[in-house]
Structure 1
Amino acid sequence: MIALVVLLVLVVLAVLMTVKVVPQQTAYVVERLGKFYAVLQPGINFIIPFFDRVAYKYTLKESAIDIPEQICITNDNVQVRMDGVIFIQVIDAKKAAYGIANYTFAVTQLAQTTMRSEIGKLALDKTFEERMTINRAVVEAIDEAATGWGVKVLRYEIKNITPPQSVLMAMEKQMQAERERRAVILQSDGEKQAAINVAEGQKQKTVLESEGLRERQINEAQGEASAILSVAEATAESIRLVAAAIQNEGGLEAVQLRVAENLVDQFGKLAKTNNTLILPANFADMGSMIAAAMTVIKTDVPNAK
């Protein structure tokens, strides 16, 4: 009975040692009598107990490895602390098992040395701007070396770049000065634009005022000219009417009567306003005075008879 139980246990152990279930995205490297035999695929696999053994197990999933912080020296001799993270994936389990003793350690060391080399080519200011360039350089350098390790480097990312405290303070002062300079420039630009706007407004105001004054002067001149022309035309028309009236029958006698009335009227006014009155020698001869006045009128009006 005991022998049967022992035999049953041995059979179960043999079955367990013979059947290997490989999970998805996993690779088992099998050695037979100490020599590479095969890479078991996901699923159920059978091996020979005591002859075959699973020497290595690798996950084929993408893995992230932290790159420890290290001190790098820039091209302008500034020490900065940098760390990062690298993403790798095993694509060939056989090369990963026999191509290198520890591919994780190798990738980490190669990432650090490549990062130091790339930082040494750049000035401190450029290290913050050239992150993508550094990342690509690290990926290319490791990927080329990792070809024989059965590992594919997918990407690399710099996590932190930490300059010395003194450099940080200097950078802060520089940024503060730059911000102040930009503020002064913006303020001066605003004041300049405001002055330009004021000057432009004053210019337009002066132009409009001068144009208004010119229009007013033109209008006033045109009004005065029109008034003078109207007065002249009215005067000329009155003279023409008087001349026409004189030429009519009885017109000359009417003028004589009008002249005599005006003469008498004017002498009457002189007598009222002055104590002393000087009379012409022939004042008694009113007809001769009217004749003299009519002689002037006839001289001015050639057609008067």
Structure 2
Amino acid sequence: MNYFLIPIIVFGLIILISSFFIVKQQTAAIIERFGKFQSIRHSGLQLKIPLVDRIAGRLSLKIQQLDVIVETKTKDDVFVRLKVSVQYKVIRTKVEDAFYKLDYPHDQITSYVFDVVRAEVPKMILDDVFLKKDDIAIAVKSELNDAMQDYGYDIIKTLVTDIDPDAQVKEAMNRINAADREKTAAQYEGDAARILIVEKAKAEAESKRLQGQGIADQRREIARGLEESVEVLNKVGINSQEASALIVVTQHYDTLQAIGQETNSNLILLPNSPQAGSQMLNDMVASFTASNQIGEAMKNTKKNKNKDE
């Protein structure tokens, strides 16, 4: 008798255990009864009728992502590959539609992405594809939302994550960018060189101005010194002509002395004989005397002419 009870007890335990099942968080279980939809069970410990109800499938309620790569041609006849990332999820209240109406949601989403991208991109030139990638993503999202809502799917976001033109086009674009950068660099270098030349010219002009001012100050002091020297010599009975000649001769000897102090100097000042100083003094005095006589004669001639008139 006991031997007959053991299989019955075991079978009963199996039936009892199979009545319970667990649904994970963010997951929905679809229950069918004799092949017909019965209910949707969500996370937690659930109960079903053994041998009558069965779990037909489970759907994740998490946000999922599908990456679709589309190759198409732009308005300026450039082939380009776009990578479109679509983030979607099953609508919690439409799990039945998502499970029964659509077998392969990935294929359906991919088809819509291809259709929208190949309709939008050929209207744009390549540069606009880069600038308006957000517009492309919005167009894809709008089209997918309208189509996938009926199947129980919600499109959260679409992103154009990569734009890859043909290799030759990319090489040409890189050359253009490199040329633009070289042009900009040359302009900056030219501006810098021009500024340097202008500033150098300003510095040289300022240097010349200061140098000229220094020379003028030097000559002014020399003239003042000569004037004082002439006054001193006049006080001891030497007239202005003789004083001027004496000063010049003194400067001549000072110059010879300065040249003599330079050990590596090859300069020779002519004349440099011992009688040169005396001869120079006599010549200068005679020159000044003759100049004064000519000046006096011209003054007398002018006076006589004025009297006759």
TM value normalised by structure 1? 0.63
Q: Name which of structure 1's ranges 130-139 and 71-80 shifts more when overlaid on structure 2.
A: 130-139
Residue 243 of structure 2 corresponds to none
Q: Distance in 2 between matches of 1:118 and 1:231?
A: 106
Give the stretch that moved more between structures: 205-214 or 109-118: 205-214
Instruction: Return the index of the structure with the highest Cα Rg.
Output: 1
Question: Could you say what secondary structure the match of 2:38 adopts?
Answer: strand
Superposed counterparts of 1:2-21, under 5 Å: 3-21=4-22
Alignment RMSD, CA only?
3.3
Partner of 2:85 in structure 1? 85
Cα 1:222–1:88 shift into 2, 3 Å: farther
Cα deviations by residue, 1:44-99 (Å, 9 ceiling, x for unpaired): 111223433322311122222232x3321112121112334322222322331244
> Structure 1 pair 64/201, CA: closer, same or farther in 2 (3 Å)?
same
| Residue aligning to 2:154 | 152
Are 1:196 and 2:198 matched, yes or no?
Answer: yes
Which aligned pairs between 1:22-37 and structure 2 lie closer than 5 A?
22-37=23-38
Tell me how far 1:179 sits from its aligned partner: 2.9
* Aligned residue type for 1:122: M
AA of the residue aligned to 2:201: A
Distance 1:31 1:228, change over 3 A: farther
SS of equivalent residue, structure 1 residue 120: helix
Per-residue deviation, 1:189: 1.9
Indicate the SS of the match to 2:123: coil
Question: What is the alpha-carbon distance in structure 1 between the residues aligned to residue 146 and residue 186 of structure 2?
Answer: 52
Aligned to 2:286: none
Instruction: Give the Å deviation of 1:125.
Output: 2.3
- The residue identity in structure 2 corresponding to 1:73 is K
Equivalent residue runs for 1:1-305 within 5 Å: 3-67=4-68, 69-92=69-92, 93-213=95-215, 215=217
Q: What SS does structure 2 have at the residue aligned with 1:16?
A: helix
Question: In the aligned structure 2, how far is the partner of 1:77 from the partner of 1:151?
Answer: 35
SS in 2 for 1:75: coil
Letter in 1 for 2:45: I
Shift of 1:228: 9.5
Moved more, 39-48 or 169-178: 169-178
| Structure 2: tracts of 5 or more residues without a match | 235-309
Contact 2:70–2:117 (Cα < 8 Å) also in 1: no
Q: CA deviation at 1:28?
A: 0.6
- What is the TM-score when the length of structure 2 is the normalising length? 0.62
Residue of structure 1 equivalent to 2:307: none
- Equivalents in 2 of 1:99, 1:221: separation in Å? 115
Aligned length: 234
Distance 1:59 1:217, change over 3 A: same
Gaps of 5+ in 1: 233-305
Give CA-to-partner distance per residue, 1:244-301, whole Å, 9 cap, x none.
Answer: xxxxxxxxxxxxxxxxxxxxxxxxxxxxxxxxxxxxxxxxxxxxxxxxxxxxxxxxxx
